[in-house]
Amino acid sequence: MTAGPRDVARHVVWGEIGVRRFPVCIGPGETARIGELWIDRGAGDAALVVFDGAVKPHADAVADRLRDVGVRVVPVAVAPGEPSKSLAELERICRVAARAGIRRTDVVVAVGGGVVGDLAGFVAASYQRGIRLVHVPTTLLAMVDSAVGGKTGVDLPEAKNYVGAIWQPEFVVMDTELLSTLPARELSCGFAEVVKYGLLDSVELFTRVERWPDPLPGDPGALVGLIRDCVAHKLNVVAQDERELGLRASLNLGHTVGHGIEAAAGYGRYHHGEAISLGLLAALRISHEVGGASLDWRERTLAVLERHALPTRLDPDVAVEDILGAMGRDKKATAASFNMVLIDEPGTVLLRQNPPHEVVVAAIEELR
Ligand SMILES: NC(=O)c1ccc[n+]([C@@H]2O[C@H](COP(=O)([O-])OP(=O)(O)OC[C@H]3O[C@@H](n4cnc5c(N)ncnc54)[C@H](O)[C@@H]3O)[C@@H](O)[C@H]2O)c1
Ligand SMILES: [Zn+2]
């Protein structure tokens, strides 16, 4: 007889950021416990449940569990996709909250991926100068990345993530069963960030990630442990540097070139995790050229990215000059210094100022 997912052990990781201390509960079926957590944490009388329209059944389940413990639920659906991360949506949701009588002692509950987490998180940070927040991430990316760390915000037409706040949650519920409805492409995107954590954390975690079987998300028990280790890595870094004055920048491994590719290709062409897949390969080439890291790490990373259907080659019509331009590294760029995160081996991170221009160009060229 094989063990059902409900027999898989759950894990609780504690975030300790400044004076805040909050649990991140990870396990299959974890949403069933949200009422219990709500009472334990003394959360409010009413919940503004902001959810991605694509996950309405998951949001309904969360709302039902809250009603079970006597919470008044005010649901607000958000259209799927990055354009919802806007000031217009922030205003719309705050006005729904105001009309529904959501008070300072009430709680915003974000049910969705990083888009809803960032948007609803910023609603919580700004509505009535800040109310409590609960994250219920529904994508792998949101579980390992955006639902922990406290960054919230919206995009401007001029630039992504330009208006926001750092706002830590009251608690986070990561129900790995919610990933069963997530499209394969989105699972792969989240896995690109998991590969990043493997490289940042240790040879042990990298090796576990490297051996992760296809298809994603894989064995339920192993998955809970994998998410726990990524979350623990991020929370440990953020606990030391919440406002990204130093160490937190290490979490941007693969993101310097990755963001350049996302912007140069036109947002939407590559999903974020796909651009990060390419960005990681460039960072590992630069790590070799500048810091002397073994090229084995690049080859091994390439193999695991490929196995999980992440891109390892750049589309030929995305111009290198455009990528450099989006990175602020083109001819017009000012002399402003630019930092890149590199590794020596998994677990040994170097922050390098101004890696030589020709090395960066060659690392991007190699992706063709
Ligand atoms: N705050 C942070 O620290 C941080 C970190 C990384 C990324 N982000 C932000 O996160 C966003 C990307 O997050 P994302 O990758 O989760 O994207 P997303 O929120 O857009 O979700 C991806 C897609 O999956 C759908 N979806 C979500 N959960 C589902 C489920 N369980 N079943 C079926 N469909 C589901 C959504 O409707 C959407 O179409 C970006 O806006 C990025 O800026 C923030
Ligand atoms: Zn990322």
pLDDT tens-place string over residues 219-255: 999 999 999 999 999 999 999 999 999 999 999 999 9
* Residue 121 identity: G
Which ligand is closest to the CA of 168, given by its number? 1
Q: pLDDT digits over 255-300, tens only?
A: 999 999 999 999 889 999 999 999 999 999 999 999 999 999 999 9
Q: Catalytic: 289?
A: no
Which ligand is closest to the CA of 179, given by its number? 1
Q: Catalytic: 244?
A: yes
pTM: 0.96
Pocket test for ligand 1, best of 60, 139, 151, 230 (most atoms within 8 A of CB): 139
Res 3: pLDDT: 44
pLDDT at residue 333 is higher than 70: no
Please, are residues 367 and 313 in contact by the beta-carbon 8 Å criterion? yes
Alpha-carbon torsion (14, 58, 272, 301), positive or negative: positive
Q: Catalytic: 248?
A: yes
User: What is the number of the ligand 1 atom nearest to the C-alpha of 121?
Assistant: 1
User: What is the number of the ligand 1 atom nearest to the C-alpha of 115?
Assistant: 19
Res 300: pLDDT: 98
Q: Catalytic: 210?
A: no
How far apart are the C-alpha atoms of 238 and 250, rounded to whole Å? 10
| Distance in Å, CA 175 to ligand 1 centroid | 15
* Residue 140 identity: L
User: What is the number of the ligand 1 atom nearest to the C-alpha of 81?
Assistant: 20
The ranges of the chain annotated as CATH 1.20.1090.10 are 244-365
Res 9: pLDDT: 86
* Helical H segments across 69-102, by residue range: 87-99
Phi, psi of 203 (to 5 degrees): -60, -35
User: What is the number of the ligand 1 atom nearest to the C-alpha of 58?
Assistant: 31
- Environment class of 348 (CB within 10 Å of its CB; exposed 0-12, middle 13-18, buried 19+): middle
Res 1: pLDDT: 36
DSSP 250-289: GGGTTHHHHHHHHHHH-TTSS-HHHHHHHHHHHHHHHHHH
Which ligand is closest to the CA of 277, given by its number? 2
Q: Catalytic: 236?
A: no
Q: Is 47 left (phi over 0), alpha (psi -120 to 50) or beta?
A: beta
Cross-strand partners of 253: none
Confidence of residue 331 (pLDDT cuts 50, 70, 90): low
pLDDT at residue 337 is higher than 80: no
pLDDT at residue 2 is higher than 50: no
Q: pLDDT digits over 100-156, tens only?
A: 999 999 999 999 999 999 999 999 999 999 999 999 999 999 999 999 999 999 999
Q: pLDDT digits over 38-85, tens only?
A: 999 988 899 999 999 999 999 999 999 999 999 999 999 999 999 999
Q: Catalytic: 252?
A: yes
Q: Measuring CA to CA, which residue among 106, 97, 152 is closest to residue 131?
A: 106
**Tokens 């750049």 correspond to what residue?**
314
Task: Pull the structure tokens for residue 235.
Answer: 């929370």
Please, are residues 191 and 140 in contact by the beta-carbon 8 Å criterion? yes
Pocket test for ligand 1, best of 58, 156, 182, 186 (most atoms within 8 A of CB): 186
Q: What are the pocket residues of ligand 1 if the criterion is a CB atom closer than 6 Å to any ligand atom?
A: 52, 54-55, 80-82, 85, 112-116, 118, 138-139, 141-142, 145-146, 149, 151, 161, 178, 181-182, 186, 189, 272
CATH architecture of 5-182: 3-Layer(aba) Sandwich (3.40)
| Distance in Å, CA 250 to ligand 1 centroid | 21
How far apart are the C-alpha atoms of 324 and 326, rounded to whole Å? 5
Q: Catalytic: 129?
A: yes
For residues 341-347, average pLDDT: 98
How far apart are the C-alpha atoms of 322 and 316, rounded to whole Å? 12
Which ligand is closest to the CA of 276, given by its number? 2
Phi, psi of 160 (to 5 degrees): -75, 145
Q: pLDDT digits over 148-190, tens only?
A: 999 999 999 999 999 999 999 999 999 999 999 999 999 999 9
Taking residue 248's Cβ as centre, other Cβ atoms within 10 Å add up to 18
Mean pLDDT of the chain: 95
| Distance in Å, CA 291 to ligand 1 centroid | 34
Please state which of the four CATH numbers 3.10.450.50, 1.10.150.80, 3.40.50.11290, 1.20.1090.10 is assigned to the domain occupying 244-365.
1.20.1090.10
* Coil vs helix vs strand at 350: strand
The ranges of the chain annotated as CATH 3.40.50.1970 are 5-182
Q: Catalytic: 91?
A: no
How far apart are the C-alpha atoms of 130 and 124, rounded to whole Å? 5
Nearest CA to ligand 1 atom 29: 182
Confidence of residue 5 (pLDDT cuts 50, 70, 90): low
Q: Catalytic: 56?
A: no
Please, are residues 35 and 11 in contact by the beta-carbon 8 Å criterion? no
- Environment class of 114 (CB within 10 Å of its CB; exposed 0-12, middle 13-18, buried 19+): buried
Pocket test for ligand 1, best of 138, 173, 191 (most atoms within 8 A of CB): 138
